Structure 1
Amino acid sequence: MCRSFPTTLRGAGREWFTRLPTSSIDNFNQLSSAFLRHFVGGQHPKRLADHLITVKQGERETLWSYVKRFTRETLEVDDVDDKVQLTTFKAGLKSREFVVSLAKNPPRTMAEMLLKAQKYMNAEDALAAIVDEERPKKEGRKTNVGDKRGSAQAIEEVT
Structure 2
Amino acid sequence: MKLPTSSIDNFEQLSNAFLHHFIGGQRPKRTPDHLLTIRQGEKETLRSYVKRFTRETLEVDEADDKVQLTTFKAGLRSRELITSLAKNPPKMMAEMLLKAQKYINDKDALAAIRDARRPRDKERKDDDCRG
Q: Which has the higher contact order (CA 8 A, sep 6+)?
A: 2
User: Hey, what does 1:111 align to over in structure 2?
Assistant: 94
Number of equivalent positions: 110
Name the residue aligned to 1:129: 112
Q: Which amino acid aligns with 2:71?
A: T
Correspondent of 1:100 among 83, 91, 108: 83
Distance 2:122 2:87 in 1: 37
Cα distance change of structure 1 residues 123 and 36 upon mapping to structure 2, 3 Å threshold:
farther
C-alpha displacement of 1:104: 1.0
Q: CA deviation at 1:36?
A: 5.5
**Paired letter, 2:103:** Y
Structure 1 length as normaliser, TM-score? 0.64
Letter in 1 for 2:92: T
Q: Secondary structure at the match of 1:58?
A: coil
1:34 offset after TM fit, Å? 8.8
What is the CA–CA distance in structure 2 between the aligned matches of 1:130 and 1:34, rounded to whole Å?
A: 62
In structure 2, the residue matched to 1:16 is: none
Opposite residue 66 of structure 2, the aligned amino acid is K
Specify the code of the residue in structure 1 equivalent to 2:74.
A
Residue deviations 1:97-144, cap 9 Å, x none? 11111111110000000000111111111001000000111135xxxx
- 2:56 maps to 73
Whether 1:88 and 2:71 are equivalent positions in the alignment is yes
Deviation at 1:46, TM superposition (A): 0.7
Secondary structure (helix, strand or coil) at the match of 1:66 reads helix
Structure 1: state its 5+ residue gaps. 1-18, 20-32, 141-159
CA distance in 2, matches of 1:139, 1:34: 72
Q: Cα–Cα, structure 1 residues 133 and 46, in superposed 2: closer, same or farther, change >3 Å? A: same
